[in-house]
């Protein structure tokens, strides 16, 4: 985590446990492509996991008790 003075807090926001700025990083402090690639891979894995759970839940049959309740409403 970067140390930030009280006057440098304006324009900053909390992302995870790290403070990040809207301003570009100073020279010599370039974000690593490796970190970006790792985040992209984690995001893709999370998306695949969420899609898998959604499709599993969506393909389950509706319980008979729920269908009976829906029929009573209609």
Gap between the Cα atoms of 36 and 33, Å rounded:
5
The model's pLDDT over 13-56, given as tens digits with 9 standing for 90+, comes to 444 444 555 676 666 555 567 788 899 999 999 999 999 999 99
pLDDT at residue 4 in the model: 45
Which tens digits make up the pLDDT trace of 59-71?
A: 999 999 999 999 9
Give residue 35's pLDDT. 85
Domain total of the chain: 1
Residue with tokens 């898998």: 52
Other CB atoms within 10 A of residue 41 CB: 10
Asked if 23 contacts 7 with a C-beta cutoff of 8 angstroms, the reply is: no
Name the residue with higher pLDDT: 58 or 34.
58
pLDDT at 5: 44
Tokens of 55: 């499709």
d(CA 15, CA 8) in angstroms, rounded, equals 16
* Domain membership flag for residue 49: yes
User: Could you give phi then psi for residue 35, rounded to 5 degrees?
Assistant: -65, -40
| Residue-range definition of the domain harbouring residue 54 | 33-58
């Amino acid at each position: 985590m970067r140390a930030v003075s009280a006057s440098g807090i304006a324009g900053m926001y909390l992302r995870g446990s790290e403070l990040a700025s809207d301003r570009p990083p100073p020279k010599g402090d370039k974000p690593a492509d490796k970190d970006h690639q790792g985040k992209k891979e984690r995001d893709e894995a999370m998306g695949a996991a969420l899609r898998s759970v959604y499709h599993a839940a969506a393909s389950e049959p509706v319980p008979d008790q729920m269908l009976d309740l829906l029929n009573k409403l209609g």
